[in-house]
Amino acid sequence: MTDISGGLQGKPTSASRTTLSHIMTGNDTNLLGTVHGGVIMKLVDDAAGAVAGRHSGGPAVTASMDEMVFLEPVRVGDLVHVKAQCNWTGRSSMEIGVRVLAERWNESTPATQVGSAYLVFAAVDADGRPRMVPPVVPETDKDKRRYQEAMIRRTHRLARRRAIKELRERRVAEGLDD
């Protein structure tokens, strides 16, 4: 197995885990009167970016977002909690897993999960070039499961990209696309 960490010391999952909380207001709503999915997606990207920056020790940019799932609508007055952690690391990339929970701001009922997403961030240097990231060290059984699932998602992402590239090249070679 090749060492892709460049000798960087690993960081435990808990070192960069974060929660971002925000009360949803009327400015956040869509035409249906619920919180716009794009508002939730921005919160997800913000929380994931904080985790990626913490884990990598510097700037990191969003490379992709996988499986943004909305499970329940979020309403005005909901207190939204966006919980993010680094699930997996490569040479310069990191998969950040995000859970979105919502609770009524004025009730004592437990928060319910309303969404989830997986984002890939690339650590970059001052010139915007990829830089090495420390390996993530899963601490709990859940962290280990998330790490394994992240490797599966990575394999699928790379296979999908390769298949699409091959299809496009084949279509160009056949004169079907220009």
Rounded to whole angstroms, how far apart are CA atoms 143 and 150?
10
52-92 pLDDT, tens digit each:
999 999 999 999 998 899 999 999 999 999 999 999 999 99
25-35 pLDDT, tens digit each:
999 999 999 99
pTM for this structure? 0.89
